[in-house]
């Protein structure tokens, strides 16, 4: 409440925020989490918490009057529809050159993501985060993260027979026949539950076209793992539908955190300021970077390092789809949780790690969809616009050309070997590459540059960054396991040295 004083305040409830919440509360510290999105725990009139991808309603998008699907076209026609403006679960935040998809709600990205829980390659982690002891990460923090996240693996024998993974087998077999290695992807979706979905013994979720607007069953999202464990300590409070707008030194010591309580239509209901001894920025790569850049420009935290707001990247994301031959059906039933990736990362001419993505339209479409992660070296910065009081991102769509080029090498090879072609009707009219969007915003407050080697903001005792903004633009794989493990590493040190 307005005027409260708390020992620790966490801004945002995604991976970084949830790790902070669990470890702080377990260390005996009362912790307040402030989250701009809703607490997704109440069913709507249809008996469901979340809507599916075939019939999106107001629950789907964050404050939009029209859906903004990542695959936005079909046969070149805009496939989006009008919705009621509401604080829905998926944000497609539009900057000049890119749409950045993010989860909004208690659990952050874990509510909307594909659940793929991939540990990065060790040599690549050492390359992107040279100041981090890789041995300790792989011995201690990755295992700690994957255990707490509830990561599990698909049963390979079941995978080979399940209808819902026909799409993945077709793409996998063609990739292999074209000379590429493939790999199973661990996931936080309960594969035991999915098996029962396939068998028809439980309500369907991953098999009912649920994923990017939330899963009603089966998914071990953060509200069910880290945050539930933190709540069990009795020391956690979560305040949903409150957006933090300012952080500045408090006259009485510590930090004054100002927030707006939001109505579901997006308007401000009330403004509150609380005082916190310690503040953990866990608003995600975009949220944390925007907030800190604005605070520096507005003179509230004028001495933040110049590196705050720099080093942002899209993890080299690019989407693409291939048209299959009529005899290669991809299946009307497709699990929303990807289970296989094409691993061509070792190729020095253009590393690519591509997930075989579902196209869960509920009908046979002969489409093979991919989300490719590439090693795009381009980076962008967040910049404050004093005229509008908003923070923009300098990324230009053309900066994603290296990603397109790397993915094109792989999929041209597959198309040639399989005598197939690209779909050019799904990302626009005559547009093969989904190159103007990312699911993996990373960087903006890079570890060891904007912060010290554990996420402390230099010169600002008690301010910490603990989310994807610490990672310099790329992980080479889907990022949430890296974000979680790095947060585990950093919070352990912070609790031991700063909070003891």
Partner residues linked to 173 by β-bridges: none
Residue with Cβ nearer ligand FDA (125 or 324): 125
Q: List the x/- string, 399-438, binding to ligand FDA by CB under 6 A.
A: ----------------------------------------
Size of the site for ligand FDA (CB under 6 A): 38
Q: What CA dihedral angle connects 442, 116, 51 and 200, to 10 degrees?
A: 180
Residue 307 phi, psi dihedral angles, 5° rounding: -70, -10
Q: Whole-number minimum distance, CB 412 to ligand FDA, in Å?
A: 25
Q: Whole-number minimum distance, CB 197 to ligand FDA, in Å?
A: 18
Residue with Cβ nearer ligand FDA (9 or 410): 9
Restricting to residues 29-88, name those near ligand FDA by CB under 6 A: 34-37
CB burial string 250-288: b at 16+ within 10 A, e below: beeebbbbbbbbbeeeeeeeeebebbbbbbbbbbbbbbb
Neighbours of 82 (CB within 10 A): 8
Restricting to residues 354-373, name those near ligand FDA by CB under 6 A: none
DSSP state of 55: S
Write down the catalytic residue from 35, 197, 210, 355. Answer: 355
DSSP state of 325: P
Between CA 458 and CA 68, with CA 469 as vertex, the angle to 5 degrees is 150
Q: Which residues contact 155 (CB under 8 A, 6 or more apart)?
A: 191, 195
Catalytic residue check, 93? no
CA-to-CA distance for 219 and 331, rounded, in angstroms?
A: 22
Query: Where does this chain touch ligand FDA (CB under 6 A) — which range of 10-18, 169-177, 327-335, 389-397?
Result: 10-18
Catalytic residue check, 440? yes
How distant, in Å, are the alpha carbons of 31, 230, 282, 498 from that of 10? 7, 13, 7, 16
| 208 touches ligand FDA (CB under 6 A) | no
Q: List the x/- string, 111-130, binding to ligand FDA by CB under 6 A.
A: -xxxxx--------------
Restricting to residues 282-301, name those near ligand FDA by CB under 6 A: 282-285, 287, 291
R_g of the chain computed on alpha carbons: 22
| 480 touches ligand FDA (CB under 6 A) | yes
Query: Where does this chain touch ligand FDA (CB under 6 A) — which range of 324-332, 385-393, 406-414, 478-486?
Result: 478-486
Write down the catalytic residue from 93, 440, 460, 492. Answer: 440
| 13 touches ligand FDA (CB under 6 A) | yes
| 15 touches ligand FDA (CB under 6 A) | yes
| 212 touches ligand FDA (CB under 6 A) | yes
CA-to-CA distance for 288 and 209, rounded, in angstroms?
A: 31
Q: What CA dihedral angle connects 263, 266, 269 and 272, to 10 degrees?
A: 110
Among 69, 209, 317, 478, binds ligand FDA (CB under 6 A): 478
Residues in touch with ligand FDA (CB under 6 A): 11-16, 34-37, 101-104, 108-109, 112-116, 212, 243-244, 282-285, 287, 291, 439-440, 467-468, 478-480, 483
Q: Which residues are catalytic?
A: 355, 440
């Amino acid at each position: 409440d307005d005027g409260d004083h708390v020992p620790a305040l966490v801004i945002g409830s995604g991976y970084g925020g949830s790790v902070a919440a669990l470890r702080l509360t377990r260390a005996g510290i009362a912790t307040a989490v402030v989250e701009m999105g809703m607490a997704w725990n109440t069913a709507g009139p249809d008996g469901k918490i979340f809507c599916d991808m075939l019939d999106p309603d107001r629950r789907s998008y964050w404050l939009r009057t029209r859906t903004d699907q990542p695959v936005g076209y079909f046969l070149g026609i805009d496939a989006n529809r009008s919705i009621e403006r509401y604080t829905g679960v998926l944000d497609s935040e539009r900057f000049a050159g890119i749409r950045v998809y993010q989860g909004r709600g208690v659990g952050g990205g874990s509510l909307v993501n594909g659940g793929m829980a991939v540990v990065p390659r060790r040599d690549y982690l050492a390359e992107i985060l040279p100041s981090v002891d890789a041995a300790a990460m792989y011995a201690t923090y990755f295992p700690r993260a994957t255990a707490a996240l509830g990561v599990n693996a698909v049963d390979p024998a079941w995978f080979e027979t399940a209808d819902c993974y026909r799409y993945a087998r077709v793409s996998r077999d063609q990739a292999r026949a074209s000379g590429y290695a493939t790999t199973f992807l661990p996931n936080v979706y309960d594969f035991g539950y999915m098996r029962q979905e396939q068998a028809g013994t439980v309500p369907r979720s991953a098999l009912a076209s649920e994923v990017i607007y939330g899963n009603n069953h089966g998914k071990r999202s953060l509200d069910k793992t880290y945050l539930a464990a933190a709540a069990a300590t009795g020391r956690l409070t979560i305040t949903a539908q409150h957006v933090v707008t300012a952080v500045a030194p408090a006259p009485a010591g510590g930090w004054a955190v100002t927030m707006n309580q939001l109505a579901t239509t997006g308007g401000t209901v009330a403004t509150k300021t609380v005082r916190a001894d310690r503040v953990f920025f866990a608003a995600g790569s975009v949220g944390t970077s925007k907030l800190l850049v604005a605070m520096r420009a507005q003179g509230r935290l004028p001495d933040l390092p110049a590196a705050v707001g720099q080093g942002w990247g899209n993890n080299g994301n690019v989407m693409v789809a291939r048209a299959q031959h009529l005899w290669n059906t991809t299946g009307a039933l497709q699990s929303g949780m990807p289970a296989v990736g094409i691993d061509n990362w070792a190729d020095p001419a253009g590393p690519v790690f591509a997930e075989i993505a579902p196209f869960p339209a509920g009908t046979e479409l002969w489409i093979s969809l991919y989300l490719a992660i590439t090693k795009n070296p381009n980076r962008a910065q967040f910049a404050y616009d004093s005229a509008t009081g908003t923070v923009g991102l300098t990324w230009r769509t053309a900066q994603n050309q290296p990603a397109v080029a790397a993915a094109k090498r792989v999929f041209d090879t597959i198309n040639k070997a399989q005598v197939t072609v690209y779909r050019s009707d799904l990302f626009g009219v005559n547009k093969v590459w989904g190159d103007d969007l990312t699911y993996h915003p990373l960087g903006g407050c890079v570890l060891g540059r904007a912060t010290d080697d554990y996420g402390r903001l230099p010169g600002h005792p008690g301010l910490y960054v603990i989310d994807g903004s610490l990672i310099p633009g790329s992980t080479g794989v889907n990022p949430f396991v890296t974000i979680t493990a790095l947060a585990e590493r950093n919070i352990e040190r912070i609790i031991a040295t700063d909070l003891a």
